[in-house]
Every structure is written in C-alpha cells, then in structure tokens.
Amino acid sequence: MASLVPSALQEVRGIVRADAPLRLLTHVRLGGAAEWLVEPIDELDVAAAVRACLDAEVPLRVLGGGSNLLVGDAGVPGVVLKLDRLRSIARDGVRLTVGAGVTVPSLLRTAREQGLAGLEVLTGVPAQLGGAVAMNAGTREGETFDRLVSLTVIEPSGEIRVLGRGDLEPRYRDGGLGARICVHATFELEEDDPKAIFGRFEEYLRYRNDTQPVTERSVGCVFQNPTGDSAGRLIERSGCKGWRRGGVSVSHKHANYFVHDGDGTTADFVALVHAVRERVREESGVELELEVKRWEVPELD
Ligand SMILES: Cc1cc2nc3c(=O)[nH]c(=O)nc-3n(C[C@H](O)[C@H](O)[C@H](O)COP(=O)(O)OP(=O)(O)OC[C@H]3O[C@@H](n4cnc5c(N)ncnc54)[C@H](O)[C@@H]3O)c2cc1C
C-alpha cells in the first residue's frame, strides 16, 4: 500500500514507518495497516508533521492508546501520528502537566505516588492522555475535564496554541477538540494521603473487574447510552448476549462490549453491529448510536 513518503515528512524528526499494522496498536487487535506511521519526538515535530501533510494534501490522523478505535480491514491511507514519545509529567504545586503519550494507568500511578488526588476517577481507562482528553473519557466517578485547567494543541494549520478550560465545550465522551491535536494537558489536583488515593483506586478497579470484560480485546463500549437508558441493558434485554459473527462476539459480562477472540476481522465486528442494532430496534424501537471511533469503516458511517 505504501506510496512514496511525502517529501516534506522527511523534515519531521522521529520514526517514520511504512505499512504499519494498526491491528497491533489497537486494543481490539483488528484492522489493516497505516500507509505511514510517524512518531514525532516533541510538539514541534507534531506541528511540522501537520503542516507537511497539509501542504502535501496527505490525510492525517492521530492515534492514542487505540482503545476506542475500529480500523477498516483495508487499512488507512496517509499518515497516522503516534504520540508515545510525548511522555513527560511535570509538577508545579498541585498541578501536573502531562504529555499526550502518557498512558492513563502510568499517570494515575505518578499522581498517587505524589499524593495528588482527583484523577483516580479514570481508573481502568486504557487510554493515553491525549485520547482521554479528546474523548473526555470518564466513569461514573467523574471525567477527564473535571480537573483540566489548560491544554496545548496543534491547530489543523500547524499552529501551536494554549487553550484554557473555558475555550472548550466538552460534552459526554467528547472533549470538543474538533480537528486539533492535544499535545499536553494541565490538571489541578488536591493533596491527599497516597494510601487514601490507592484505596479509591482499588475500589473502582474492583467494580470494573466485576462488571466489564477488562482482560479481553475490545473497543470499550460500542454504542452510546440512549438518554435515560443503558445500551448494555437494551442489548441484553433483546437477547443478544453471546451473539457471534466470525471472531467477534457480544460479551457475556457486559453486553455493550464486543470481544475479539483473536481470529476475527473488522468485517465480523461490522456484521455484529448491524445484527445487534437491528434486533434492538425491533425489540425496543431504539436506534443505537455508535460510541466507537472508526477509521475507514464506511459500512458504519
Ligand atoms: C477495556 C476498555 C475499557 C474502557 N473503559 C472506558 C471508560 O470507563 N470510560 C471511557 O470514557 N472510555 C472507556 N474506554 C474507551 C477508551 O479508553 C476511551 O474512549 C479513551 O478516551 C480513548 O483513548 P485512546 O488514547 O485509546 O484513544 P484512541 O482510541 O487511540 O483514539 C480515540 C479518538 O481520539 C483521538 N485522539 C487520540 N489521541 C489524540 C490526541 N492526542 N489529540 C487529539 N485527538 C486524539 C483519535 O484520533 C480518535 O478519534 C474503554 C476502552 C476499553 C478497551
């Protein structure tokens, strides 16, 4: 699939790989390759990559932890940016400034060790910080934007900007970034006893392990919860638990999770989405909307 690397990309410091299998970089382990995978060294290189793609009219996407992403079996054209190298965590008083490539579990560990409370509401979210901000990831305990005070982003033009919390309008599972790329975020936390923080962390983790298939390959919740209801409850009530298409099935533990047994394809996932949606529509009249982000999966657009 790889064509010539856009010449302008050669100016970007970082690793550039052709035909990189995104299957290996997504939590659900499905999908084809990225034509180009680029891992910039710092935010200046992210900005340079954005400008290079703009100038060369090459499609550009940004990948976080790949935990809410379904990639088409044929892969994606153009450049995928992976921000793993942006992994600094800097403390100033009760504020932490965190690089987009820091994983949420490691951020929670650092905050806990430093006696800073507030982020443990994200316990069990297998994201990177940039993806958590982009999606305003959250749990029943709270969400990413609760503690966010500012954000450094790369605009679609390649300009680097610092935004205050008030510049954005986050919603349920959407940080409101649009096409901007988050490279750093600053959170204001509270001092607390690390043992107390750890206690809450363990409690939230226990609840999650009891109710969700956390050790299996999935995209997290497939569908959004309809207003006043739960997608998982509707799917379960429609009798879809355990339904299977190829290597993908509806989890027995939580019906809004589809799990991949390692032998499936995105086409299997898509077929299961259609089947479950149709059954829920027939049984309850509700049209389930997708929560999972899709790259080159036109059957679900
Ligand atoms: C087992 C499991 C449990 C989960 N539990 C939860 C939960 O409790 N709560 C919850 O909210 N979610 C949950 N999720 C879903 C997922 O973790 C979140 O949606 C998370 O925010 C995705 O972050 P990511 O880094 O993996 O992003 P990705 O999946 O890589 O990307 C998701 C979207 O964010 C964009 N993006 C990624 N990084 C950036 C960036 N730096 N700047 C701009 N855009 C970016 C991508 O382009 C894409 O559109 C779960 C998923 C799994 C697999």
Mean pLDDT for the chain?
95
Residue with the nearest Cα to atom 36 of ligand 1? Answer: 131
Classify residue 177 by its DSSP letter: -
Side chain identity, residue 100: A
Q: Is 40 in the pocket of ligand 1 (CB under 6 A)?
A: no
In this structure, what CATH number is given to the domain that contains residue 239? 3.90.78.10
The pLDDT of residue 9 is 79
Contacts of 104 (CB under 8 A, 6+ apart): 65, 122, 125, 126, 127, 128, 129, 132, 137
Q: Residue 17: pLDDT above 70?
A: yes
The pLDDT of residue 14 is 85
In this structure, what CATH number is given to the domain that contains residue 17? 3.30.43.10
The pLDDT of residue 159 is 98
Q: How far apart are CA 194 and CA 181, in angstroms?
A: 32
Q: For 164-216, what is each residue's pLDDT tens digit? A: 999 999 999 999 999 999 999 999 999 999 999 999 999 999 999 999 999 99
Q: For 85-140, what is each residue's pLDDT tens digit? A: 999 999 999 999 999 999 999 999 999 999 999 999 999 999 999 999 999 999 99
Looking at the chain, list the stretches that DSSP marks H as alpha helix, in order from N- to C-terminal side. Answer: 43-56, 104-113, 129-134, 194-211, 231-237, 266-284
The pLDDT of residue 6 is 62
Q: Is 293 in the pocket of ligand 1 (CB under 6 A)?
A: yes
Give a yes or no: residue 109 inside a domain. yes
In this structure, what CATH number is given to the domain that contains residue 119? 3.30.465.10
The pLDDT of residue 10 is 78
**For the chain, the helix, strand and coil percentages under 3-state DSSP, each to the nearest 5:** 30, 30, 40
211 CA from centroid of ligand 1 (Å): 19
Per-residue pLDDT band at 5 (split at 50, 70, 90) = low
159 with 190, same domain: the answer is yes
20 with 123, same domain: the answer is no
Give a yes or no: residue 219 inside a domain. no
The pair of structure tokens assigned to 223 is: 């569908």
Task: Work out which ligand 1 atom sits closest to the CA atom of 126.
Answer: 17
Q: How far apart are CA 109 and CA 25, in angstroms?
A: 22
Strands 160-164 and 89-92 turn out to be unpaired
196 with 242, same domain: the answer is no
Residue with the nearest Cα to atom 11 of ligand 1? Answer: 137
Give the total number of structural domains in the chain.
3
129 with 58, same domain: the answer is no
7 CA from centroid of ligand 1 (Å): 31
The pLDDT of residue 2 is 44
Q: Is 46 in the pocket of ligand 1 (CB under 6 A)?
A: no
